[in-house]
C-alpha cells in the first residue's frame, strides 16, 4: 500500500490581497500568468507529471473562475477511471466557523475525502506558486527517512526570512526548530509550503490542535510535531517563487523572457492548461502588421500587433495599434493599446482599453501609492479589469486605476505618481 502515491490536497482558497486589483475579482490561484496560463497550472501540471492519482482542490475565496478553469481536471489528465480531481469547497453554514479557518483546518475537515482511498500519506500543496518539482523525489525522501512529516525547503535571503516559515535542521535534515514568519529568524532555510505527511499522524494531531483554536500548519502543526515526531526538511534547488505581491508577479513575468538566466523554463516543464474554459482553442493565430516590431516577448494567440513590443507578456486577444510602444509590461486578455501610446512597467488586467497617444510610464523613483503603499511602491502602474484610459492621458509610477473606471471618471488627463483613480461604479466581475 505504501507504494501508492499520496492523496494530494491543493490549498487554493487564498485571497491574495497583496496582489491588489489582480485578485479583487478572482482567487489568487486563478490569476492569469504567462499568456495562456493561470497560477494553479504549475501545481496541477506538477501533480500530473508526478503521477498523482487523486487530487482534492480546496477552494474558498471567489472560486467560480478557478472552478471553471479546473473543470473535471481532464486538461491535466486527472479525470479517468483511476484518477480523480475533486473540488472541495467549505461547507457553507450559519456561522463563520463553517469556512476554512486555516491551512491545517482545511485539511482536517476534509478527512472523509482523504480516508476514502487507500493512501497512507497526504501531499499538501499551494495553488499559487510558480515552480517545477517532481514530487516523487520528495515522497521517496520522506519514506527513506521514515518521516511523519516532511517540508520542502530552500535557502532564502536573510532580509526575506520574516516572510517564510524558517527551519533549523541537524546534519540528517531533521528539523529541530521551526519559526513561522519570525521577526528575528534563527536561520535562512525557508519552507516552500509543500508537505508530505503521514495521514493518521497529521489528522489526529491537527484535530487536537483545532480543539484548542489552532488551525494553521506552519504556525501550529509543525512546532507541535517536532516535539515528538520525525519531521524532516527536503532540500529543493530549482526555480520557485511565491507570487504573493505585485512586484513578485512582475518579476516572475520578466523571468519568462530570460529563462536561461532565471531558470523559469516553461517549454521544458510540460506545462498544461485548460484551453477550452476561456475558448482559447477558438482564438486565431497572432497577427503581425508590416510596422510591427517584437523582441524578447511572449505573444499569445489572437493578438494583433502593429506597434513595438519589447520585453513584455501579451495574453490572448491583445491589440497594439500603429506607433504604440509596449515595454516591460504585462497585458492580460483583450487589452487594447491605441495608436501612438507608450507603456512601460504596466500591468493591465483583462479588457482594459488604453486610448491613443496615452503615456503610461512607470518609474522607480515615484512615491508609493497613496492608498496601498505596501502593495505598490516599485514604480509599476496597475490598471484594473475593464478600466478605460482615455486618449492623451498621462499616468506615472505607482498609480492604480480601479476596475471598471470609465472615460467619464477622468476629471483630468493626468494621474500623478502614487495616485489612485476610483470610478463612480465599482462593478468588479469575477474573471
pLDDT of amino acid 74 = 95
Report CA-CA distances (Å) from 285 to 30, 135, 281, 301, 385: 24, 35, 10, 5, 24
**3-state DSSP of 244-281:** CCHHHHHHHHHHHHCHHHHCCCHHHCCCCCCCCCCCHH
Cβ 277 vs Cβ 26: under 8 Å: no
d(CA 33, CA 300): 11
pLDDT above 90 covers a percentage of the chain that reads 87
Model confidence at 371, in pLDDT bands (50, 70, 90)? very high
What's the grid cell of residue 339? 495608436
pLDDT value, residue 2: 55
Q: In angstroms, what CA-CA distances link 316 with 91, 160, 300, 333, 335? A: 35, 34, 5, 5, 9
- Contact by Cβ (8 Å): 392, 411: no
What pLDDT does residue 427 have? 53
Look up cell 517540508; give the residue.
151
For residues 315 and 36, give the distance between their C-alpha atoms in angstroms, rounded to a whole number.
Answer: 6
Which cell numbers hold the place of 341?
Answer: 501610446
Per-residue pLDDT tens for 103-117? 999 999 999 999 998
* pLDDT over 70 percentage in the chain: 96
Task: Please tell me the distance from the alpha carbon of residue 347 to that of residue 405, in angstroms, as a whole number.
Answer: 15
Counting every residue, how long is the chain? 431
On the question of pLDDT at 20 being above 80, the answer is yes
How sure is the predictor about 279, in pLDDT bands with cuts at 50, 70 and 90?
confident
Do 193 and 104 meet the contact criterion of CB atoms below 8 Å apart? no
pLDDT at 1: 44
Domain boundaries, the chain: 7-261, 283-421
Quick check: 376 and 407 in contact, CB under 8 A?
A: no
Inform me whether the pLDDT recorded for 184 exceeds 90.
yes
What's the pLDDT score for residue 377?
97
- Give the C-alpha separation, 240 to 238, whole Å: 6
At 4, the pLDDT band (50, 70, 90 cuts) reads confident
Q: Which of 377, 323, 389, 379 shows the shortest CA–CA distance to 353?
A: 389
Predicted local distance difference test score (pLDDT) of residue 430:
45
The mean per-residue pLDDT over the stretch 63-88 comes to: 93
- Distance of alpha carbon 181 from alpha carbon 163, whole angstroms: 5
Among residues 70, 99, 98, 104, the alpha carbon closest in space to that of 86 is found at 70
pLDDT band for position 266 (cuts 50, 70, 90): confident
Structure confidence at residue 82 (pLDDT): 86
What is the sign, positive or negative, of the torsion defined by CA atoms of 61, 63, 65, 70?
positive
Alpha carbons within 13 angstroms on the beta-carbon side of residue 423 total 19
| pLDDT at residue 93 tops 70 | no
What is residue 111's predicted lDDT score, i.e. its pLDDT?
95
Mean pLDDT in the chain?
94
CATH architecture observed for domain 283-421: 3 Solenoid (2.160)
- Once rounded to an integer, what is the mean pLDDT over residues 262-279? 88
| HEC string for the chain | CCCCCCEEEEECCCCCHHHHHHHCCCCHHHCEECCCEECHHHHHHHHHHCCCCEEEEECCCCCHHHHHHHCCCHHHCCCECCEEEEECCCCCCCCHHHCCCCHHHHHHCCHHHHHCCCCCEEEEEECCEEECCCHHHHHHHHHHCCCCEEEEEEECCHHHHHHCEEEEECCCCEEEEEEECCCCCCCCEEEEEEEEEEHHHHHHHHHHHHCCCCCCHHHHHHHHHCCCCCEEEEECCCCEEECCCHHHHHHHHHHHHCHHHHCCCHHHCCCCCCCCCCCHHHCCCCEECCCCEEECCEECCCCEECCEEECCEECCCCEECCCCEEECCEECCCCEECCCCEEECEEECCCCEECCCCEEECCCCCCCCCCCCCCCCCCCEEECCCCEECCCCEEECCCEECCCCCHHHCCCCEECCCCEECCCCCCCCCC
Predicted confidence (pLDDT) at residue 426 exceeds the cutoff of 90: no
Sign of the Cα torsion 35, 38, 43, 45 reads negative
pLDDT at 62: 87
Interval 48-69 mean pLDDT: 94
pLDDT of residue 16: 81
Q: pLDDT, tens digit, for every residue of 213-248?
A: 999 999 999 999 999 999 999 999 999 999 989 999
Question: Is 290 a residue whose pLDDT tops 60?
Answer: yes
C-alpha–C-alpha distance, residues 300 and 320, integer Å: 13
pLDDT bracket for residue 365 (50, 70, 90): very high
List pLDDT tens digits, range 144-166. Answer: 999 999 999 999 999 999 999 99
- Top pLDDT among 92 and 323 is at 323
Banded model confidence at residue 269, pLDDT cuts 50, 70, 90: confident
Neighbours of 144 (CB within 10 A): 9
Domain 7-261: CATH superfamily is Spore Coat Polysaccharide Biosynthesis Protein SpsA; Chain A (3.90.550.10)
Residue with cell 516577448: 297
Q: What is the pLDDT of residue 98?
A: 64
Amino acid at each position: 500500500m505504501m507504494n501508492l502515491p499520496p492523496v494530494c490536497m491543493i490549498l487554493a482558497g487564498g485571497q491574495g490581497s497583496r496582489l491588489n486589483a489582480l485578485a479583487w475579482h478572482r482567487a489568487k490561484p486563478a490569476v492569469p500568468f504567462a499568456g495562456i496560463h493561470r497560477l494553479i497550472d504549475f501545481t496541477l501540471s506538477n501533480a500530473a507529471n508526478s503521477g498523482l492519482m487523486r487530487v482534492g482542490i480546496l477552494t474558498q475565496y471567489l472560486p467560480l473562475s478557478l472552478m471553471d478553469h479546473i473543470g473535471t481536471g481532464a486538461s491535466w489528465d486527472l479525470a479517468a477511471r483511476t484518477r480523480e480531481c475533486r473540488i472541495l469547497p467549505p461547507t457553507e453554514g450559519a456561522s463563520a466557523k463553517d469556512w476554512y479557518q486555516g491551512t491545517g483546518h482545511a485539511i482536517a475537515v476534509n478527512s472523509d475525502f482523504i480516508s476514502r482511498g487507500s493512501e497512507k500519506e497526504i501531499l499538501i500543496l499551494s495553488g499559487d506558486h510558480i515552480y517545477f518539482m517532481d514530487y516523487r523525489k520528495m515522497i521517496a525522501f520522506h519514506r527513506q527517512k521514515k518521516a511523519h512529516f516532511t517540508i520542502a525547503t530552500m535557502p532564502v535571503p536573510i532580509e526575506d526570512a520574516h516572510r517564510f516559515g524558517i527551519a533549523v535542521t541537524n546534519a540528517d535534515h531533521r528539523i529541530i526548530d521551526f519559526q513561522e514568519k519570525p521577526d528575528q529568524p534563527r536561520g535562512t532555510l525557508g519552507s516552500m509550503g509543500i508537505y508530505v505527511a503521514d495521514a493518521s499522524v497529521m489528522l489526529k494531531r491537527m484535530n487536537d490542535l483545532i480543539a484548542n483554536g489552532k488551525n494553521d500548519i506552519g504556525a501550529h502543526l509543525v512546532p507541535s510535531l517536532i516535539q515528538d515526531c520525525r519531521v524532516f526538511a527536503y532540500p529543493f534547488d530549482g526555480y520557485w517563487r511565491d507570487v504573493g505581491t505585485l512586484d513578485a508577479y512582475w518579476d516572475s513575468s520578466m523571468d519568462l523572457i530570460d529563462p536561461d538566466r532565471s531558470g523559469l523554463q516553461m517549454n521544458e516543464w510540460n506545462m498544461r492548461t485548460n484551453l477550452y474554459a476561456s475558448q482559447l482553442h477558438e482564438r486565431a493565430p497572432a497577427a503581425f502588421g508590416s510596422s510591427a516590431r517584437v523582441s524578447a516577448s511572449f505573444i499569445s494567440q489572437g493578438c494583433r500587433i502593429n506597434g513595438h513590443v519589447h520585453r513584455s507578456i501579451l495574453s490572448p486577444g491583445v491589440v497594439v495599434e500603429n506607433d504604440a510602444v509596449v515595454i516591460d509590461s504585462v497585458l492580460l486578455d483583450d487589452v487594447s493599446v491605441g495608436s501612438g501610446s507608450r507603456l512601460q512597467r504596466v500591468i493591465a488586467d483583462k479588457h482594459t482599453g488604453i486610448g491613443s497617444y496615452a503615456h503610461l510610464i512607470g518609474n522607480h523613483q515615484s512615491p508609493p501609492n497613496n492608498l496601498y503603499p505596501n502593495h505598490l511602491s516599485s514604480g509599476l502602474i496597475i490598471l484594473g479589469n475593464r478600466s478605460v484610459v482615455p486618449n492623451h492621458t498621462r499616468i506615472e509610477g505607482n498609480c492604480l486605476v480601479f476596475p471598471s473606471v470609465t472615460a467619464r471618471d477622468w476629471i483630468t488627463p493626468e494621474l500623478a505618481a502614487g495616485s489612485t483613480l476610483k470610478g463612480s461604479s465599482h462593478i468588479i466581475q469575477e474573471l
